[in-house]
Amino acid sequence: MDCQLAVIGGGAMGEAIIAGAVKSGLYSSETIGVGEPLSARRDYLKEKYRVHVTEDNLSLVSRASMVVMAVKPQFFFQVLHSFVGKMSPGQLLISVAAGISLGEMEKIVPAGLALARVAPNTPCLVGKGAAAIAYGSAVTEEHRKKVRELFQSLGLAVEVPEKYLNAITGLSGSGPAYVYLFLEALIEAGVRVGLPRDLSRQLVLQTVFGAVTMAQETGRHPAELKEMVTSPGGTTAAALEVLESGAFRGLVLGAVVKAFQRAEELSGNQ
Protein backbone atom coordinates (compact mmCIF):
# COMPACT_ATOMS: atom_id res chain seq x y z
CA MET A 1 0.00 0.00 0.00
CA ASP A 2 1.23 3.50 -0.89
CA CYS A 3 0.51 5.12 2.49
CA GLN A 4 0.83 8.90 2.23
CA LEU A 5 -1.25 9.69 5.32
CA ALA A 6 -1.34 7.54 8.46
CA VAL A 7 -3.91 8.33 11.15
CA ILE A 8 -3.17 6.71 14.49
CA GLY A 9 -6.47 6.49 16.35
CA GLY A 10 -9.77 6.04 14.56
CA GLY A 11 -12.02 7.80 17.08
CA ALA A 12 -14.09 10.93 16.49
CA MET A 13 -11.24 13.30 15.63
CA GLY A 14 -9.36 10.65 13.68
CA GLU A 15 -12.47 10.01 11.62
CA ALA A 16 -12.93 13.75 11.03
CA ILE A 17 -9.41 13.94 9.61
CA ILE A 18 -10.00 10.91 7.38
CA ALA A 19 -13.32 12.31 6.15
CA GLY A 20 -11.83 15.73 5.40
CA ALA A 21 -8.87 14.25 3.56
CA VAL A 22 -11.08 12.04 1.40
CA LYS A 23 -13.94 14.46 0.71
CA SER A 24 -11.60 17.31 -0.21
CA GLY A 25 -9.72 15.11 -2.66
CA LEU A 26 -6.41 15.77 -0.90
CA TYR A 27 -5.86 12.05 -0.51
CA SER A 28 -7.46 9.05 -2.14
CA SER A 29 -8.74 6.30 0.13
CA GLU A 30 -6.02 3.97 -1.16
CA THR A 31 -3.28 6.24 0.21
CA ILE A 32 -4.69 6.55 3.76
CA GLY A 33 -3.88 4.10 6.52
CA VAL A 34 -5.53 4.01 9.94
CA GLY A 35 -4.21 2.42 13.11
CA GLU A 36 -7.11 1.43 15.36
CA PRO A 37 -7.17 -1.17 18.18
CA LEU A 38 -10.94 -1.82 18.25
CA SER A 39 -12.13 -4.35 15.68
CA ALA A 40 -15.65 -2.92 15.38
CA ARG A 41 -14.22 0.51 14.73
CA ARG A 42 -11.78 -0.88 12.16
CA ASP A 43 -14.64 -2.54 10.30
CA TYR A 44 -16.68 0.68 10.35
CA LEU A 45 -13.88 2.88 9.01
CA LYS A 46 -12.94 0.40 6.31
CA GLU A 47 -16.54 0.07 5.16
CA LYS A 48 -17.33 3.81 5.18
CA TYR A 49 -14.12 5.32 3.81
CA ARG A 50 -12.48 2.37 1.98
CA VAL A 51 -9.19 3.11 3.73
CA HIS A 52 -6.61 0.58 4.88
CA VAL A 53 -7.18 -0.15 8.59
CA THR A 54 -4.92 -2.18 10.85
CA GLU A 55 -3.88 -2.81 14.45
CA ASP A 56 -0.25 -2.61 13.39
CA ASN A 57 0.86 1.01 13.74
CA LEU A 58 4.45 0.11 12.85
CA SER A 59 3.50 -1.03 9.37
CA LEU A 60 1.79 2.31 8.72
CA VAL A 61 4.24 4.84 10.08
CA SER A 62 7.29 3.28 8.46
CA ARG A 63 5.80 4.04 5.01
CA ALA A 64 3.76 7.21 5.57
CA SER A 65 5.07 10.67 4.72
CA MET A 66 2.67 12.22 7.24
CA VAL A 67 1.47 10.67 10.53
CA VAL A 68 -1.37 12.13 12.60
CA MET A 69 -1.60 11.14 16.26
CA ALA A 70 -5.32 11.27 17.11
CA VAL A 71 -5.24 9.43 20.43
CA LYS A 72 -6.31 10.60 23.89
CA PRO A 73 -3.63 12.47 25.86
CA GLN A 74 -3.41 9.78 28.55
CA PHE A 75 -2.40 7.20 25.92
CA PHE A 76 -0.28 9.50 23.76
CA PHE A 77 3.22 8.62 24.90
CA GLN A 78 2.51 4.90 25.25
CA VAL A 79 1.34 4.77 21.63
CA LEU A 80 4.11 7.06 20.38
CA HIS A 81 6.84 4.96 22.01
CA SER A 82 5.46 1.89 20.23
CA PHE A 83 6.41 3.14 16.76
CA VAL A 84 8.51 6.30 16.95
CA GLY A 85 11.74 4.33 16.50
CA LYS A 86 10.62 3.49 12.96
CA MET A 87 10.25 7.13 11.97
CA SER A 88 13.01 9.10 10.29
CA PRO A 89 13.92 12.69 9.36
CA GLY A 90 11.79 13.97 6.51
CA GLN A 91 8.60 12.45 7.87
CA LEU A 92 6.00 14.68 9.50
CA LEU A 93 4.33 13.86 12.84
CA ILE A 94 1.20 15.80 13.82
CA SER A 95 -0.40 15.67 17.27
CA VAL A 96 -3.99 16.70 17.99
CA ALA A 97 -3.76 15.63 21.65
CA ALA A 98 -4.51 18.40 24.15
CA GLY A 99 -1.73 19.42 26.50
CA ILE A 100 1.15 17.63 24.74
CA SER A 101 3.80 20.22 23.88
CA LEU A 102 6.21 20.18 20.96
CA GLY A 103 9.05 20.19 23.48
CA GLU A 104 7.78 17.00 25.10
CA MET A 105 7.57 15.29 21.72
CA GLU A 106 11.02 16.48 20.65
CA LYS A 107 12.55 14.66 23.63
CA ILE A 108 11.30 11.34 22.24
CA VAL A 109 11.30 11.51 18.45
CA PRO A 110 14.39 11.03 16.26
CA ALA A 111 16.44 14.18 15.64
CA GLY A 112 15.27 16.07 12.58
CA LEU A 113 11.72 14.68 12.60
CA ALA A 114 9.23 17.38 11.59
CA LEU A 115 6.57 18.07 14.23
CA ALA A 116 3.29 19.97 14.32
CA ARG A 117 0.83 20.43 17.15
CA VAL A 118 -2.81 21.17 16.35
CA ALA A 119 -5.71 22.29 18.56
CA PRO A 120 -8.92 21.39 16.67
CA ASN A 121 -12.53 21.32 17.85
CA THR A 122 -15.41 18.90 17.34
CA PRO A 123 -17.21 20.79 14.52
CA CYS A 124 -14.33 19.47 12.40
CA LEU A 125 -16.56 16.39 12.25
CA VAL A 126 -18.92 18.27 9.92
CA GLY A 127 -16.27 20.28 8.09
CA LYS A 128 -17.01 23.45 10.07
CA GLY A 129 -14.26 23.27 12.67
CA ALA A 130 -11.54 25.60 13.83
CA ALA A 131 -7.96 24.38 14.17
CA ALA A 132 -4.87 26.23 15.37
CA ILE A 133 -1.47 24.93 14.21
CA ALA A 134 1.99 25.34 15.73
CA TYR A 135 5.19 23.91 14.23
CA GLY A 136 8.43 22.41 15.47
CA SER A 137 11.84 23.61 14.33
CA ALA A 138 12.42 20.92 11.68
CA VAL A 139 9.29 21.72 9.67
CA THR A 140 9.79 22.85 6.06
CA GLU A 141 7.50 25.02 3.97
CA GLU A 142 6.31 21.88 2.17
CA HIS A 143 5.36 20.36 5.54
CA ARG A 144 3.46 23.53 6.47
CA LYS A 145 1.56 23.41 3.20
CA LYS A 146 0.49 19.81 3.83
CA VAL A 147 -0.70 20.54 7.37
CA ARG A 148 -2.59 23.66 6.29
CA GLU A 149 -4.33 21.84 3.46
CA LEU A 150 -5.33 18.93 5.67
CA PHE A 151 -6.92 21.06 8.38
CA GLN A 152 -8.44 23.55 5.94
CA SER A 153 -10.42 20.56 4.68
CA LEU A 154 -12.04 20.47 8.15
CA GLY A 155 -12.90 24.18 8.38
CA LEU A 156 -10.81 27.17 9.47
CA ALA A 157 -7.07 26.57 9.99
CA VAL A 158 -4.80 29.23 11.49
CA GLU A 159 -1.05 29.11 12.16
CA VAL A 160 0.01 30.46 15.57
CA PRO A 161 2.96 30.43 17.98
CA GLU A 162 2.69 27.44 20.32
CA LYS A 163 2.34 29.75 23.35
CA TYR A 164 -1.22 30.56 22.19
CA LEU A 165 -2.46 26.97 21.96
CA ASN A 166 -3.67 26.58 25.55
CA ALA A 167 -5.63 29.83 25.29
CA ILE A 168 -7.09 28.64 21.99
CA THR A 169 -8.04 25.35 23.64
CA GLY A 170 -10.00 27.33 26.24
CA LEU A 171 -11.68 29.49 23.59
CA SER A 172 -12.41 27.50 20.44
CA GLY A 173 -11.43 24.02 21.61
CA SER A 174 -13.91 24.02 24.49
CA GLY A 175 -16.06 26.69 22.85
CA PRO A 176 -18.59 24.38 21.18
CA ALA A 177 -19.66 23.16 24.64
CA TYR A 178 -20.40 26.73 25.71
CA VAL A 179 -22.52 27.22 22.61
CA TYR A 180 -24.37 23.93 23.15
CA LEU A 181 -25.18 24.94 26.73
CA PHE A 182 -26.57 28.24 25.45
CA LEU A 183 -28.60 26.40 22.79
CA GLU A 184 -29.94 24.01 25.40
CA ALA A 185 -31.01 26.90 27.65
CA LEU A 186 -32.57 28.85 24.77
CA ILE A 187 -34.56 25.84 23.56
CA GLU A 188 -35.78 25.24 27.11
CA ALA A 189 -36.79 28.90 27.33
CA GLY A 190 -38.94 28.48 24.24
CA VAL A 191 -40.68 25.54 25.86
CA ARG A 192 -41.13 27.59 29.06
CA VAL A 193 -43.06 30.27 27.16
CA GLY A 194 -45.34 27.72 25.52
CA LEU A 195 -43.70 26.51 22.30
CA PRO A 196 -43.54 22.83 21.31
CA ARG A 197 -39.99 21.57 21.85
CA ASP A 198 -39.39 20.65 18.20
CA LEU A 199 -40.49 24.10 17.05
CA SER A 200 -38.35 25.80 19.70
CA ARG A 201 -35.31 23.78 18.63
CA GLN A 202 -35.85 24.58 14.96
CA LEU A 203 -36.16 28.31 15.62
CA VAL A 204 -33.20 28.46 18.03
CA LEU A 205 -30.80 26.64 15.69
CA GLN A 206 -31.73 28.86 12.76
CA THR A 207 -31.53 32.00 14.90
CA VAL A 208 -28.02 31.21 16.09
CA PHE A 209 -26.92 30.11 12.61
CA GLY A 210 -28.32 33.32 11.12
CA ALA A 211 -26.67 35.52 13.76
CA VAL A 212 -23.27 33.90 13.19
CA THR A 213 -23.66 34.20 9.42
CA MET A 214 -24.48 37.91 9.76
CA ALA A 215 -21.40 38.47 11.90
CA GLN A 216 -19.21 36.66 9.38
CA GLU A 217 -20.62 38.19 6.21
CA THR A 218 -21.06 41.79 7.37
CA GLY A 219 -17.82 42.01 9.35
CA ARG A 220 -19.59 44.26 11.84
CA HIS A 221 -18.75 44.25 15.55
CA PRO A 222 -21.13 42.05 17.60
CA ALA A 223 -22.10 45.09 19.69
CA GLU A 224 -23.25 46.90 16.54
CA LEU A 225 -25.28 43.91 15.38
CA LYS A 226 -26.81 43.64 18.85
CA GLU A 227 -27.93 47.27 18.65
CA MET A 228 -29.68 46.53 15.33
CA VAL A 229 -31.98 44.13 17.20
CA THR A 230 -32.52 46.30 20.27
CA SER A 231 -35.21 49.00 20.35
CA PRO A 232 -35.44 51.31 23.38
CA GLY A 233 -37.97 49.92 25.82
CA GLY A 234 -38.61 46.89 23.62
CA THR A 235 -38.58 43.13 24.17
CA THR A 236 -34.90 42.65 23.34
CA ALA A 237 -33.84 45.43 25.71
CA ALA A 238 -35.81 43.78 28.49
CA ALA A 239 -34.18 40.42 27.79
CA LEU A 240 -30.65 41.83 27.61
CA GLU A 241 -31.17 43.57 30.95
CA VAL A 242 -31.79 40.17 32.54
CA LEU A 243 -28.65 38.68 30.96
CA GLU A 244 -26.43 41.61 31.94
CA SER A 245 -27.77 41.78 35.50
CA GLY A 246 -27.13 38.04 35.79
CA ALA A 247 -23.46 38.55 34.87
CA PHE A 248 -23.76 36.65 31.58
CA ARG A 249 -20.73 38.38 30.10
CA GLY A 250 -18.62 37.77 33.21
CA LEU A 251 -19.60 34.11 33.35
CA VAL A 252 -18.48 33.57 29.76
CA LEU A 253 -15.17 35.32 30.42
CA GLY A 254 -14.67 33.27 33.58
CA ALA A 255 -15.42 30.00 31.80
CA VAL A 256 -12.82 30.62 29.09
CA VAL A 257 -10.19 31.67 31.64
CA LYS A 258 -10.89 28.55 33.72
CA ALA A 259 -10.56 26.29 30.67
CA PHE A 260 -7.28 28.02 29.74
CA GLN A 261 -5.94 27.54 33.27
CA ARG A 262 -6.84 23.85 33.15
CA ALA A 263 -5.07 23.48 29.81
CA GLU A 264 -2.00 25.10 31.37
CA GLU A 265 -2.14 22.62 34.24
CA LEU A 266 -2.40 19.67 31.86
CA SER A 267 0.61 21.00 29.95
CA GLY A 268 2.63 21.27 33.16
CA ASN A 269 2.90 25.06 32.88
CA GLN A 270 1.55 25.63 36.39
What pLDDT is attached to residue 125?
86
**What beta strand segments (E) does 122-233 contain?**
129-135, 155-159
pTM over 0.85: yes
Separation CA 80–CA 70 (nearest Å): 11
Domains by residue range for the chain, with CATH: 5-162 (3.40.50.720), 173-266 (1.10.3730.10)
Separation CA 72–CA 79 (nearest Å): 10
Taking a C-beta distance cutoff of 8 angstroms, is the pair 176, 124 a contact? no
What pLDDT is attached to residue 99?
83
Give the chain's residues under pLDDT 50: none
pLDDT in tens, 16-58: 999 989 988 889 999 999 999 999 999 999 999 999 999 989 8
| Closest to 29 measured CA to CA, from 5, 8, 10 | 5
What pLDDT is attached to residue 98?
85
Cross-strand bridge partners of residue 34 = 7, 53
Question: Based on the number of CB atoms within 10 Å of its own CB, is 54 exposed (0-12), middle (13-18) or buried (19 or more)?
Answer: middle
| End-to-end Cα separation, the chain, in angstroms | 45
